[in-house]
């Protein structure tokens, strides 16, 4: 196994301003961040602090006002299939079946290299990975919210992206479904070893899943407040960690950052 690249995803002095009706709004100021290859990084912060903006910048859906973004040594110029996004609201196309939704992505990436059968096999494998082999021919409106999100994850992983970007992937789900999907995501990530950046506002989710947690200060002009390294060995077990002192200490660190030092009036 090669040594993982240290600065696989890199943000250098990124500033982001949006033009609004009331003049320009400074969303992000001087964001510096690098993600190691194979690392799982969470970005946490209060709503409106610009954490989704950071993700959209890495995805290439937005262009920074100032600064540079790199992925695997190349500057990010726009969206591309090397950076797959799982959206909060799943964003599956309702007129396509689960299979077709995933196939649309696979086709785009592997069309020139592989035969139809090979690509179909990829789709089937991706759906099996998220344990949805039984829902292959169902349309998104025929399956539950958790299943839709799993199709979204399958679609992203089937593209074999360099970086997986998760935008509050479980935010719209109930607590139990969310916990199940978090566990599944952990085991999937253990298998694929994909570099991942996840935006979340769930403290437990961040501590449980991440190698590092990037805590953002409140906007406007939000920045990286602190970075917390989660040095808990994998595989992690939700129930064992619930009473683990170190886990609770880390959890407390994040909570203290969010509710003491950077509290936000509701």
Partner 1 sequence: MSAVTISNENLETIMKSKQTTARKTAANESVLIPAPDPVVVWEAAPALPVEPAKPAKPSGSSKFGLQLRLFFQWLLPPMFGMLLLLAIWTLISYQAQGLPGPVATFKSAVVVFSDPFYNKGPNDQGIGWNILASLKRVGLGFGMAAMVGIPLGFIIGRFQFMSRMVAPVISLLRPVSPLAWLPIGLLVFKAASPAAIWVIFISAIWPMIINTAVGVSKVPQDYMNVARVLNLSEWKIFTRILFPSVLPYMMTGVRLSIGVAWLVIVAAEMLTGGVGLGFWVWDEWNNLNVEHIIIAIFVVGIVGLLLEQFLLLLAKRFNYE
Residues that bind partner 1 (CB under 8 A): 59-61, 78-81, 83-85, 87, 89, 91, 93-96, 104-105, 108, 139, 141, 159
Q: Minimum distance from CB of 91 to partner 1 (Å)?
A: 4
Q: Minimum distance from CB of 68 to partner 1 (Å)?
A: 20
Measured from the CB atom, is 114 or 253 closer to partner 1?
114
Q: Minimum distance from CB of 219 to partner 1 (Å)?
A: 21
Q: Minimum distance from CB of 243 to partner 1 (Å)?
A: 40
Q: Minimum distance from CB of 156 to partner 1 (Å)?
A: 9
Reduce the DSSP state of residue 34 to 3 states and report it.
strand
User: How far is the first Cα of the chain from the last one, in angstroms, to the nearest whole number?
Assistant: 48
Measured from the CB atom, is 7 or 139 closer to partner 1?
139
Q: Which of 52, 236, 71 is nearest to 161 (CA)?
A: 71
Dist CA 88 CA 179 (whole Å): 16
Measured from the CB atom, is 13 or 63 closer to partner 1?
63
Q: Minimum distance from CB of 42 to partner 1 (Å)?
A: 20
Specify the pairing of strand 66-71 against strand 9-20: antiparallel
Beta strands in the chain (DSSP E): 9-20, 23-35, 40-44, 66-71, 74-75, 83-86, 163-167, 195-200, 212-216, 224-229
Reduce the DSSP state of residue 160 to 3 states and report it.
coil
Let me know if 261 is exposed, middle or buried by CB neighbors in 10 A (0-12, 13-18, 19+): exposed
Measured from the CB atom, is 83 or 212 closer to partner 1?
83
Q: Minimum distance from CB of 136 to partner 1 (Å)?
A: 17
Measured from the CB atom, is 165 or 250 closer to partner 1?
165
Measured from the CB atom, is 146 or 161 closer to partner 1?
161
| Residue 147 tokens, joined | 């299943």
Measured from the CB atom, is 5 or 104 closer to partner 1?
104
Residue pointed to by tokens 């196994």: 1
| Residue 160 tokens, joined | 């074999």
Who contacts 68 (Cβ-Cβ below 8 Å, separation ≥6)? 10, 11, 12, 13, 14, 75
Residue pointed to by tokens 């600065």: 7
Q: Minimum distance from CB of 108 to partner 1 (Å)?
A: 5
Return the number of other C-beta atoms located less than 10 Å from residue 263's C-beta.
11
Q: Which of 95, 108, 84 is nearest to 197 (CA)?
A: 84
Reduce the DSSP state of residue 216 to 3 states and report it.
strand
Measured from the CB atom, is 46 or 155 closer to partner 1?
155
């Amino acid at each position: 196994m090669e040594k993982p690249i240290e600065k696989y995803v890199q943000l250098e002095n990124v500033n982001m301003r949006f033009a609004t009706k009331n003049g320009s709004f400074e969303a992000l100021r001087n964001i510096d961040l690098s993600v190691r290859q194979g690392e799982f990084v969470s970005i946490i912060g209060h709503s409106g602090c610009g954490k989704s903006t950071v993700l959209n910048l890495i995805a290439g859906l937005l262009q920074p006002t100032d600064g540079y973004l790199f992925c695997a040594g190349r500057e990010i110029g726009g969206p591309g299939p090397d950076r797959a996004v799982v959206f909060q609201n799943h964003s599956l196309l309702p007129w396509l079946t689960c299979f077709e939704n995933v196939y649309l992505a696979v086709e785009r990436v592997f069309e020139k290299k592989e035969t139809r059968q090979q690509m179909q096999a990829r789709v089937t494998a991706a759906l099996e990975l998220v344990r949805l082999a039984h829902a292959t021919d169902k349309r998104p409106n025929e399956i539950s919210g958790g299943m839709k999100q799993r199709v979204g994850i399958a679609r992203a992983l089937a593209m074999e992206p360099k970086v997986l970007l998760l935008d509050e992937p479980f935010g719209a789900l109930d607590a139990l479904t969310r916990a199940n999907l978090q566990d599944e995501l952990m085991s999937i990530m253990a298998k694929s070893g994909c570099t991942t950046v996840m935006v979340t506002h769930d403290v437990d989710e961040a501590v449980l899943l991440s190698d590092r947690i990037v805590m953002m200060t409140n906007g406007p002009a939000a920045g990286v407040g602190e970075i917390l390294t989660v040095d808990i060995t994998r595989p992690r077990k939700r129930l064992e960690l619930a009473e683990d002192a170190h886990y609770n200490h880390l959890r407390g660190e994040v909570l203290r950052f969010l509710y003491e030092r950077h509290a936000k009036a509701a």
